[in-house]
Structure 1
Amino acid sequence: MKWMLVAAALACLHDTISARKINGWYPCNLRTFATPAPATTTSSTGQAMDDESPTIRGWRLNDQDPANAIFRSLIVNPATDMSITLGAAAAAPTVECAEITMPLCHEGICESNATITVFVKRMRAAPGRNTAAAKSLWVLQGGPGASSVNMEGIMAALYDAPGSYLGGSVDVYTMDHRGTGRSSRLSCVASQVETSGSPTKGHFTSQSFPDCIQDVNMQLGDDADVNLLKAYSTTSAATDLSKIISLLNTTPNAHTTVYGVSYGTYLVQRLMQLANPSVKGYVLDGVVSQSGSKSGEKLSFADWAVNMDEIGTAFMALCAKDATCGPKFATSSLQETLKALYTSMDSKGPKGTTCSSFLTSVGGSSLTPPSYTLRQLLGHLLQVQSIRNFIPVLVYRLSRCNPNDATAVANFVTAYLNIIGAPDESDAYDSSMLYNLVALSELFTYPAPSRPSLRASFAGSLIASDTSSLVTMYCLASNGKDAACASEKPSTKPGFQFIYPTDKYFDVAIAIPNGTSVLLLSGLLDPQTPPKFARYQLASFVGTAKRLIEFPTSAHGTILNTPVTVQNKVPCGASIVSSFVMAGGLDKLDTTCLEYLTPNSFAITTALGQRLMATDDVYEGTPRKAIVPRTPSDSAASDVPASTKPPSESQVNSSWRSLAIAAVVVAAVIFLVMVVVVMRLRRQVREAKDLSAEYIVDPVEP
């Protein structure tokens, strides 16, 4: 017995030592990849462009992937004024990377002697600028399932950009959530389901997803009791973060602030529940509410269509008072026009008009109503602040649908698919399986709703994304225990599940730790984490050291989507976050930038109009060119001589690949152009469309 006690003590000692092993710190680049990821949210001063943090990367018009529809990872646009911050910061700070060994199972979560590594990147404060009470800021990605790559631009912007209060005096950190990127990424290695060479071309189907479930369980050595699946829970990731903060905070009076966006806010709230005394401030941007499932106040992916439609309706209501948009819908509002358009398109059938026929072809199936394809497209555009203004343009053009309108719509869809289909190295760092595990275990509705009910919610909306296939995924992961799974008839591997039991922190109100404060940021036009969930979370926090700031026209990720009228300044959200860090709390928070927020406008620059529709006037103009779909073999999306390609436009996201230009479109060849576009897009879509009605989910981008 004594020998066993000694062995147990030695095992615990080994676990403690291994949890503190640091492989680093090594000099590294701020940007992981030399080629920037495609960008899709706004910068501080430009209308043009830019996911982890909501990205549209990888989406197709027939995409039923909820991982591509939900919680897109925040993406920084390296082409706008953010590139100034990258250039300025990159020359000054020391950037370091390390792997830190952690137990696979933290104490009280699961049992295993195995370890994993967690990847951390940091920008060190400039010599002499950090104070005696050393400050550090952590920025955490959303997802779930997204790596930290797309936090790198945010790190630079906060570090010392004009308008940021940090001034290079704060260590700025990020990390890959366990199970993603360089932190022991969770993937289906043996089954090879996620590879492009697999029979399903990397997609999950109802046949392949169970294989992946078994694969991951076998990798973990789980004996089908779901014990080790808890090793990749939100609580496990929050414990990683808490231990690493304690490990690195060696200076007396150290002051750490932790910022999270989207699912990152859910992770930060779990960190709050751990109450690490080294953490003094918490920032939640795009809030995923932690509690209140019984009252409908906890965000659930099952409610995605309903929540998005609320924001879509609010966005369209702004059109009536806008000088650009309002006159185009003088006799019938944008909302009513869209309703009538859906009815008209579907009643006339897939071949009713040139425009509806085009949408049907792009949607990938004649069985898919044109309205479903358009509703999905508008749902994705609503999430991208810099191009959501094309929503009324498309509704206007599609309602009229003359030959010029048909070409303009075809140009937009083609350009859009070219952009989001561009290769991105960071995709390989995301983890679909971690997304599935966390989303189905903690971010769904229990018991599960039926798939038809979610499909009906989508069909009854004006702007939304269809996430009904999450029900099938949930039934596969849970072995079909809920009543809603009876009609799904899931084909599962006996004994293997992919949902972990929730713990004591799940769905309970959070007490704000003593001596800390929490700042919540929310965009009133955020379709991914609508503002009502930030308000719910604010009310549920136990304590008074809390504040919610709402931005009237901002989409998801206010740290980027809050442009100001002052040139060469970081977005207002970034400025407020930096002020919170330096002030050490809410009392001296500087919110002056709220007075300089760029007002909402539906105007679209000529540069963006040319890039996406090949016309200066997106409502009335005649497209001067046909934009050609990119094929997989295209390096620059063109099959015309290089001399005919348009030059890069600095006003538009430079990470968007150059669009191929065909001959000038004239009335005599419009029909031919439409046929060519439809045939090539149909071929592209066929490559990725569901192999059957069994299609479940693609790898998360995010």
Structure 2
Amino acid sequence: MQIRYAIAWAMVAIQSTDASNSTSKGDLNGWYPCSEYTFSDEGSSTGQVAQCAVYSAPLCYPGICETPPGVNSEVDVFVKRLPATAADPATTTNVWLLQGGPGASSTDLEISMATLHSELEGTVNVYTMDHRGTGRSTKPDCVAAQVTTTGSPWDLQIKYGDLASFSVTTAATDLATFISRFTNGAGTIVYGVSYGTMFAERLMHLAPPQVTGYVLDGIATTSGAPEFFYASKWDNNFGEVGDAFLALGESDSNCKPHFDSNGLNNTLQGVLEQFDHDPNSTCAALVNSTVETGESPSANLRIALESTEAMKPKSRQQHQIENKSTTYETHYTQALENFFANQWGKLKLVALDPLKHLAKSQTAIQYNFSSDHASLTSPMRTTIPNQASVLLLSGKLDPQTPNKYAEYLLNALRGEKKELIAFEYATHGTVMTTPMVADNPWSETCGMKVLASYVRVGGDLERLDKSCVAEMPAFNLTTPDYYLYSYFGTDVADDGY
């Protein structure tokens, strides 16, 4: 049976290649056998045969921009797929996974591609792409200036002309064109995560008829809603979700006993104030020697406490350390020092004057390539295409794309076929951050099970199986031993010794 499907798929690939060779513009160079995982450390092969291709897309599509004289009129768009193995790939459903970032390549989605393909027992074709500007697709690099993206707008202008050629609209047009020209014409589900939700929403505006469902995970777009998703609200968003996390800690049976007198939130606030009051204290000096921000000692501590898994024992240790041994604290700071030395060198943050930078541009949403007023647009409220539905996935402990934006988009979407599933304790990207087994981040996830069900029922929300949401593990702040040993070199960090 699988041999018959493999032969059918090979014929489709040959026909696609022949069709592309007969044209001079918009060619598809592929499909070629390629590795399931681009990098060997991403995962071990499951025996699935991936195929890769490059779509030669026009630099500018009609109505978006015009290619200036002397500028290369084409860009490369890298595409990868896992063909169906238990169904006819020439007729079965297609699923697209779109990466976020913005600027991340599709390699981060390869594990999800393989997992979804396996979850659906090989009955679908799973696709992804490096949208233009990322990964193995054409990037807006400045070879003359020896930098990329925002480093030299003049070099980019000379090389590419109107930079609308690298806009979200252009990337979405690449995808709509590819689906129309180079896939099998069957029903298609599009999944986008983080920035990929903006990409997927723009595709909704283009409304390709083959797409019957859109899944947006970690909502980074709220077109048409009263509250827009601005990156300038990043710190406020983190603060709101951080407060929600601390509030959960106040009622957690494993956490509450350690902070009975003042509570977790008040204890943490007290430690921050103590650092600023006595920056030369033993604990403050240890943290300040590890994390350098040029700001207050409490700011350094905030950087050191970025890991929520380490926050509970760390907060209590900071409270006790002036009167206790510093062995654990030294282990922690040494581990942090080694991490920064290996990855970025000593961590140093540069204070920016936002007014100075914003004054150079008419908008804070784009990359500030110019101050052209044409870059300003009114958010377009999205209408769900007649043949499609929209499923929104969100985590209530997601500080990058907080759940409130998913609620805003749900209300702003025009149409009835829409649903939001918000996971109580999930963080960013629920397909990856909703493990069904507590303290086991490698267990199957509820987000993936919901996505697979959505694909299986062709986007029919009434038939969607979301039973796993009610089976999610309860909130638990017990820190796994592997985190304790990694950060503190012990499994009894709560004792503060």
2:35 counterpart of 1:29: yes
1:529 aligned residue: 401
The answer to whether structure 1 residue 258 and structure 2 residue 157 are counterparts is no
Partner of 1:608: 483
Q: 1:246 aligns with which of 175, 180, 183?
A: 180
Report if the CA contact (8 A) 2:36-2:110 is conserved. Answer: yes
Query: TM-score, structure 1 length as denominator?
Result: 0.62
Alignment partner of 2:104 out of 141, 146, 166: 146
* Superimposed CA distance per residue, residues 19-71 of structure 1 (whole angstroms, 9 cap, x where no aligned partner): 531111111111111234xxxxxxxxxxxxxxxxxxxxxxxxxxxxxxxxxxx
Go from structure 1 to structure 2 and tell me whether the alpha carbon gap of 1:193 and 1:100 turns closer, same or farther (over 3 Å shift).
closer
Q: 1:333 is matched by which residue type in structure 2?
A: G
Question: Measured at CA, do residues 467 and 121 of structure 1 come closer, stay the same or move farther in structure 2, by a change above 3 Å?
Answer: farther
Residue by residue over 1:595-646, the C-alpha shift from the partner in whole angstroms, topping out at 9 and shown as x without a partner, is: 3212211111223211221001121164xxxxxxxxxxxxxxxxxxxxxxxx
Cα separation, 2, equivalents of 1:241 and 1:503: 24
The question of whether the paired residues in 2 share the 8 Å contact of 1:360 and 1:368 is answered with no
Q: Distance in 2 between matches of 1:595 and 1:306?
A: 30
CA change 1:33–1:389 in 2 (3 A) is same
Q: Name the structure 1 match of 2:95.
A: 137
Cα distance change on mapping 1:422 and 1:591 into 2, 3 Å: farther
Deviation at residue 173 of structure 1 after TM alignment: 0.8
3-state SS of 1:302 partner: helix
Change (3 A) 1:260 1:232: same
TM score, norm. by length of structure 2? 0.86
Tell me what 1:310 maps to: 240
Shift, 1:186, TM fit: 2.0
SS in 1 for 2:495: coil
Query: Conserved in 2, the CA contact under 8 Å of 1:123 and 1:172?
Result: yes
SS at match of 1:111: coil
User: Which secondary structure does the structure 1 equivalent of 2:146 belong to?
Assistant: coil
Compared CA separation, residues 284 and 19, structure 1 to 2 (3 A):
farther
Equivalence for 2:134:
180
Deviations 1:337-381 (A, max 9, x none): 1111111111223x2x1221122222325x421111222343x42
| 1:473, distance to aligned residue in structure 2 (A) | 8.4
SS at match of 2:142: coil
Partner of 1:579: 453
Alignment partners' CA distance in 2, 1:324 and 1:245: 50
Runs of 4+ in 1 over 6 A off after TM superposition: none
Quick one: distance in 2 between partners of 1:518 and 1:573?
15
Match of 1:273 among 190, 202, 205: 205
Work out the CA distance in 1 between the residues paired with 2:372 and 2:82. 36
Equivalent positions of 1:229-244 (< 5 A) are: 229-244=163-178
1:30 and 1:186 map into 2 onto residues whose CA distance is 27
Distance 2:396 2:133 in 1: 32
Structure-2 residue corresponding to 1:171: 125
CA 1:183 to 1:543, structure 2 compared with 1: closer, same or farther past 3 Å? same
Distance 1:423 1:338, change over 3 A: closer
What CA distance in whole angstroms lies between the structure 1 residues aligned with 2:425 and 2:320?
A: 29
Q: Deviations over 1:636-670 (max 9, x none)?
A: xxxxxxxxxxxxxxxxxxxxxxxxxxxxxxxxxxx
2:425 counterpart (541, 553, 574): 553
The CA distance in 1 between the partners of 2:290 and 2:484, in whole Å, is 21
Alpha carbons 2:26, 2:58 under 8 Å: kept: no
Could you tell me how far apart the structure 2 residues matched to 1:479 and 1:420 are? Answer: 33
| One-letter amino acid of the structure 1 residue matched with residue 417 of structure 2 | A
Does the 8 A contact of 2:31 with 2:53 survive in 1?
A: yes
Q: Could you say what secondary structure the match of 1:338 adopts?
A: helix
Distance 1:587 1:279, change over 3 A: same
In 2, the alpha carbon distance for the partners of 1:400 and 1:471 equals: 38
Match 2:370 to one of 462, 484, 497? 497
Displacement of 1:503 in angstroms is 7.4
- How far 1:170 sits from its partner (Å)? 0.7
**For the residues of structure 1 that align with 2:317 and 2:112, how far apart are their CA atoms?**
37
SS of 1:411 mapped into structure 2: helix
What is the aligned counterpart of 1:20 among 22, 26, 39? Answer: 26
2:207 and 2:431 map into 1 onto residues whose CA distance is 25
Which residue of 1 is the match for residue 17 of structure 2?
none
Per chain length, whose mean CA-contact separation is higher, i.e. which structure has more relative contact order (CA < 8 Å, sep 6+)? 1
Write the mapping of 1:215-234 to structure 2, written as runs, cut at 5 A.
215-220=155-160, 222=161, 228-234=162-168
Name the CA distance, whole Å, in 2 between partners of 1:482 and 1:596.
Answer: 44
- CA distances 1:255-309 after superposition (whole Å, capped 9, x unpaired): 100001111001100000000001110000001133257x3x1111111111111
Task: Give yes or no for contact 1:96–1:122 (8 Å, CA) kept in 2.
Answer: yes
Which residue pairs with 1:354 in the alignment?
Answer: 282
Segments of 5+ residues of structure 1 without an aligned counterpart are: 1-13, 37-77, 79-85, 195-203, 223-227, 382-387, 425-465, 484-491, 623-702
Read off the aligned partner of 2:370 and give its amino acid letter: Q
Q: Is the Cα contact below 8 Å between 2:90 and 2:184 reproduced in 1?
A: no
Aligned equivalent of 2:331, options 397, 404, 411? 411
**Contact 2:363–2:375 (Cα < 8 Å) also in 1:** no
Aligned equivalents of 2:341 and 2:95: distance in 1?
34
CA offsets 1:480-527 (integer angstroms, 9 cap, x no match) = 5689xxxxxxxx9xxx728794476x5121000011000000101000
Distance 1:614-1:573 versus aligned 2 partners, 3 A rule = same
The answer for the alignment partner of 1:446 in structure 2 is none
CA offsets per residue over residues 447-501 of structure 1, 9 Å max, x none?
A: xxxxxxxxxxxxxxxxxxx9974837854xx735689xxxxxxxx9xxx728794
Task: Indicate the RMSD between aligned Cα atoms, in angstroms.
Answer: 2.9
Cα deviation, 1:533-584, whole Å, max 9, x if unaligned, reads 0000000000000000010100001001111139985200000001000101
- Decide whether aligned partners of structure 1 residues 470 and 30 sit closer, same or farther in structure 2, where only a CA change above 3 A counts: farther
- 2-structure distance, mates of 1:137, 1:559: 15
Q: Distance in 1 between matches of 2:353 and 2:214?
A: 31
- Name whichever of 277-286 and 607-616 sits farther off: 607-616
Task: Report the alpha carbon displacement of residue 398 of structure 1 after superposing the two structures with TM.
Answer: 1.2
For residues 525 and 405 of structure 1, the distance between their equivalents in structure 2, rounded to whole angstroms, comes to 34
The alpha carbon displacement at 1:403 in A equals: 7.0
Shift of the 292–359 alpha-carbon distance from structure 1 to 2, 3 Å rule, reads farther
Q: Deviations over 1:77-135 (max 9, x none)?
A: x5xxxxxxx54xx21x2201111100011111100161001001111110x42488510
Worse-superposed segment, 604-613 or 171-180:
604-613
Taking the aligned partners of 2:146 and 2:90, their CA distance within structure 1 comes to: 51
Q: Distance in 2 between matches of 1:593 and 1:213?
A: 48
Taking the aligned partners of 2:116 and 2:350, their CA distance within structure 1 comes to 34
What's the CA shift for 1:323?
Answer: 2.2
Partner of residue 385, structure 2: 513
The percent identity for this pair of structures is: 37
Q: Which of the residues 394, 399, 402 maps onto 2:314?
A: 394
Residue identity opposite 1:594 in structure 2 = V
The change in CA–CA distance for 1:498 and 1:135 in structure 2 (over 3 A counts) is: farther
**Structure 1 residues 377, 291: closer, same or farther in 2, change over 3 A?**
farther
Q: Quick one: distance in 1 between partners of 2:184 and 2:402? A: 39
Q: Counterpart of 1:654?
A: none
Partner Cα separation in structure 1 for residue 371 and residue 207 of structure 2:
29
Report deviation, 1:188: 3.0
